[in-house]
């Protein structure tokens, strides 16, 4: 019965008057009626038991939470691609370095050498192309693919190339009218020879000429005339001693070429010496870039007829028409010219040489052609050129040439001449729909983070903010490869104008002519498609101003920078930061003086000055230097790219479950993000490119990371260390 015991008796002490409280409030305590001392002992015991129970509950909860954390937190990624990435990170990093004082060495140093992530990836992409070119099942008989494979195998057939010797080159020289060195000089028409060199052999001895989009809107195709590229590393301000040594080495090389071609040693010496004199004089005519910038004369717009009057030694219409067939040129055809003063002086020198030393001028042109064609010749010519380049690098204190196996050179040549074919094969092999979809998803998250960040920039006013957001919305993106590279009918085109044989040199020359014709044809299309500046297997992303398009080739979106099965920290830190960097190129104009009239100029300049001082305070590796002003825009893109990628990654962590990490690396996901960013920048500092707009690699790591408070927080860097300075710059 309710309220009674099992015998139906009334419980002792129950209130008869009240039935409103809960049952337990109406019952007597169990110890009621017992002695008071015993009651106190039992109360104490009960409190102890309660405390023990609570402790056990807390201990059990702690164990449970540890279990949940370990099983619901980031799981180790143990797929083959993750284990390969782990091995690369362990091989390239130096964990004995403290990340808060030298994160570049922590991420990039390898047995006292610096790993080069981009170089390693480019090599891996070439190996993939090699496997495709050596797989008989990769191509179809009777298609254009077959010619690509035949070209590669003829390039690899060094026995046949050695057997041909200098014969193929001698035949080319005879087609050009011979030369005085070998005693077979038959005739010489300067402009006819120049026209043949430019149109049939792809050699430009006195200037460069090529098609490009017009520098101003609407970016229609235009022929541009540039200064020549010299075969020897001369500089405007070079020590006389170094200059003399360079000239001696180059003279030795030219003498060697003339001897290999059967020339009389005395004549070879004379013609080689005068060829160097011509090169030196042409070099003296060059206007340094800084001078042309100061005079606001980077480019000139002239017609062919006007250029003919300024530089009459060249038959401009005839030479350009032959080179850019099937374009139809006229004397009124506009040209873009880089250095008019150079062309005037070059023309005057040629006129003088034609009056006094016609045969020497012919020899100069042919010696230059031999250097251009040497990669397609036998080992004696190739070795002569390699030795020259090696000695010149020593004289200019550059690192020695890396080993370049024959297969790598043949892959490069095949890729240059048969790009549509190899692009389709490479993308099919390395960038399937799943990879492309994952890369596009990553790009969308990066772009969304940029748009969000634009709303918070203090130095952009509302009108400009709307304008730049529209530019981001209108931006085109190409991921992996251009559309034409994915069409099998183009990949298997016949290349009917390419004739392979009877020797490898003739095959190369036929490919050179075909490639030039295809480039001209692409420019003549009524709605020309975007012309990629890199191959689909290349490793460089870029932003095209004329097309307002960012390009991320398939060759870049590969391990160790990107893979759908990687932890998201890796993809956002590596590929994501690259994507964000390229997106920020859209806004370079805003950062230039006067480039953003509607901006808060004072706040913008303060942020830029802060960034310049921030980089200037960072330590440089010995033997390297950089210009804070010339690298400022790229530094800004590095800093902003990292910040945007980290913002996108943080949002991704909130919206998605299942983040993974690399096993046995002792890095949590946020630390792995920053480690992956640094991996992108791993490379040796280069002294070769004095005009490089990027900072040295260590600064590209330390600059952005030390300007990111989240890095210092996740690596627990003490205030005042290199990677956690007392102040940060707020540009983006």
Annotated catalytic residue, options 231, 249, 378, 638: 638
The b-or-e profile of 78-106 (16+ CB within 10 A means b, else e) is eeeebeebbebbeebbeeebebbebbbbb
Read off the tokens for 703.
């600059």
Nearest to 390 by CA among 592, 249, 585, 181: 249
638 belongs to the catalytic site = yes
Judging by beta carbons within 10 Å of its beta carbon (0-12, 13-18, 19+), is residue 348 exposed, middle or buried?
Answer: middle
Query: Strand pairing partners for 211?
Result: 223
**CB-CB contact of 631 with 693 (8 Å):** yes
Query: Which strands, in side-by-side order, build the sheet including 208-213?
Result: 208-213, 221-226, 334-337, 300-303
- DSSP string of 243-300? HHHHHHHHHHHHHHHHHHTT--HHHHHHHHHHHHHHHHHHHHTPPPHHHHHHTT-S-E
Number of Cβ within a 10 Å radius of residue 527: 4
The count of residues in the chain is 732
Annotated catalytic residue, options 413, 582, 634, 659: 582
Nearest to 271 by CA among 258, 253, 284, 283: 258
**CB-CB contact of 360 with 352 (8 Å):** no
Nearest to 615 by CA among 685, 676, 721, 701: 701
Parallel, antiparallel or unpaired: strands 208-213 and 221-226: antiparallel
Nearest to 158 by CA among 479, 395, 364, 405: 405
d(CA 422, CA 411): 10
Q: CA quadruple 117, 638, 716, 667: dihedral positive or negative? A: negative
Judging by beta carbons within 10 Å of its beta carbon (0-12, 13-18, 19+), is residue 320 exposed, middle or buried?
Answer: buried
Nearest to 544 by CA among 213, 300, 225: 213
582 belongs to the catalytic site = yes
Parallel, antiparallel or unpaired: strands 109-110 and 334-337: unpaired
**CB-CB contact of 378 with 167 (8 Å):** no
Read off the tokens for 4.
């009674």
Question: What percentage of the chain's residues is helix, strand, coil (to nearest 5)?
Answer: 55, 5, 35
**CB-CB contact of 446 with 584 (8 Å):** no
- Residues labelled catalytic: 582, 638
């Amino acid at each position: 019965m309710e309220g009674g015991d099992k015998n139906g008796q009334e419980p002792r002490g129950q209130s008869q008057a009240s039935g409103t409280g809960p049952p337990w409030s109406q019952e007597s305590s169990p110890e009621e009626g017992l002695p008071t001392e015993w009651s106190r002992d039992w109360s104490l015991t009960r409190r102890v038991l309660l405390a023990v129970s609570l402790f056990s509950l807390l201990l059990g909860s702690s164990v449970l939470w540890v279990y949940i954390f370990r099983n619901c937190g980031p799981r180790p990624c143990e797929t083959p691609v993750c284990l390969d990435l782990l091995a690369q990170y362990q091989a390239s990093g130096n964990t004995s370095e403290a990340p808060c004082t030298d994160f570049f060495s922590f991420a990039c140093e390898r047995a006292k050498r610096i790993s080069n992530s981009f170089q390693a990836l480019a090599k891996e992409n070439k190996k993939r192309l090699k496997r495709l070119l050596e797989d008989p099942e990769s191509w179809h008989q009777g298609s254009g693919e077959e010619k690509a494979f035949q070209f590669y195998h003829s390039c690899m057939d060094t026995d046949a190339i050695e057997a041909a010797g200098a014969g193929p080159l001698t035949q080319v020289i005879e087609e050009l009218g011979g030369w005085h060195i070998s005693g077979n000089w038959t005739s010489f028409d300067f402009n006819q020879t120049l026209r043949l060199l430019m149109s049939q052999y792809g050699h430009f001895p006195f200037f460069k000429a090529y098609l490009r989009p017009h520098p101003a809107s609407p970016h229609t195709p235009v022929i541009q005339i540039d200064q020549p590229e010299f075969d020897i590393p001369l500089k405007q301000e070079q020590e006389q001693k170094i200059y003399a040594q360079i000239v001696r080495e180059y003279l030795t090389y030219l003498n060697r070429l003339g001897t290999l071609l059967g020339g009389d040693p005395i004549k070879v010496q004379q013609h080689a010496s005068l060829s160097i004199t011509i090169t030196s004089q042409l070099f003296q005519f060059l206007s340094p870039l800084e001078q042309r910038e100061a005079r606001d004369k980077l480019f000139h717009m002239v017609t062919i007829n006007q250029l003919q009057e300024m530089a009459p030694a060249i038959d401009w219409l005839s030479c350009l028409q032959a080179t850019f067939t099937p374009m139809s040129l006229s004397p009124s055809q506009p040209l873009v010219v880089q250095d008019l003063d150079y062309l005037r002086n070059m023309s005057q020198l040629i006129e003088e040489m034609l009056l006094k030393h016609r045969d020497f001028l012919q020899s100069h042109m042919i010696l230059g052609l031999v250097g251009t064609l040497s990669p397609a010749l036998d080992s004696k010519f190739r070795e002569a050129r390699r030795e020259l380049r090696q000695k010149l690098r020593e004289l200019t204190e550059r690192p020695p040439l890396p080993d370049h196996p024959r297969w790598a050179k043949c892959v490069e040549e095949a890729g240059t001449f048969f790009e549509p074919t190899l692009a389709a094969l490479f993308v099919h092999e390395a960038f399937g729909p799943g990879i492309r979809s994952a890369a596009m998803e990553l790009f969308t998250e990066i772009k969304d983070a940029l748009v969000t960040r634009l709303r918070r920039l203090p130095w952009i006013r509302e009108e400009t903010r709307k304008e730049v957001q529209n530019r981001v919305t209108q931006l085109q993106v190409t991921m992996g490869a251009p559309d034409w590279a994915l069409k099998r009918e183009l990949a298997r085109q016949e290349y009917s104008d390419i004739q392979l044989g009877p020797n490898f040199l003739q095959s190369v020359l036929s490919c050179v002519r075909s490639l030039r014709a295809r480039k001209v044809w692409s420019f003549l299309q009524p709605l020309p498609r975007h012309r990629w500046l890199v191959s689909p297997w290349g490793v460089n992303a870029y932003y095209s101003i004329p097309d307002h398009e960012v390009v991320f080739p398939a060759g870049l979106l590969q391990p160790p920078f990107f893979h759908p099965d990687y932890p998201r920290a890796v993809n956002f830190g590596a590929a994501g930061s690259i994507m964000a960097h390229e997106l920020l190129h859209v806004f370079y104009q805003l950062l230039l003086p006067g480039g953003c009239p509607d901006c808060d100029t004072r706040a913008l300049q303060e942020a830029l000055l802060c960034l310049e001082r921030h980089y200037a305070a960072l330590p440089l590796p010995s033997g390297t230097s950089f210009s804070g002003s010339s690298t400022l825009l790229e530094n800004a893109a590095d800093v902003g790219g990292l910040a945007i990628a980290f913002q996108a990654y943080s949002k991704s962590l909130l919206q998605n479950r299942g983040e993974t990490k690399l096993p046995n690396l002792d890095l949590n996901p946020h630390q792995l993000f920053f480690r992956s960013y640094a991996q992108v920048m791993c490379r040796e500092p280069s002294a070769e490119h004095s005009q490089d707009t990027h900072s040295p690699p260590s600064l590209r790591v330390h600059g952005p990371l030390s300007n990111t408070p989240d890095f210092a927080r996740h690596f627990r860097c003490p205030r005042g260390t290199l990677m956690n300075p007392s102040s940060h710059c707020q540009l983006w």
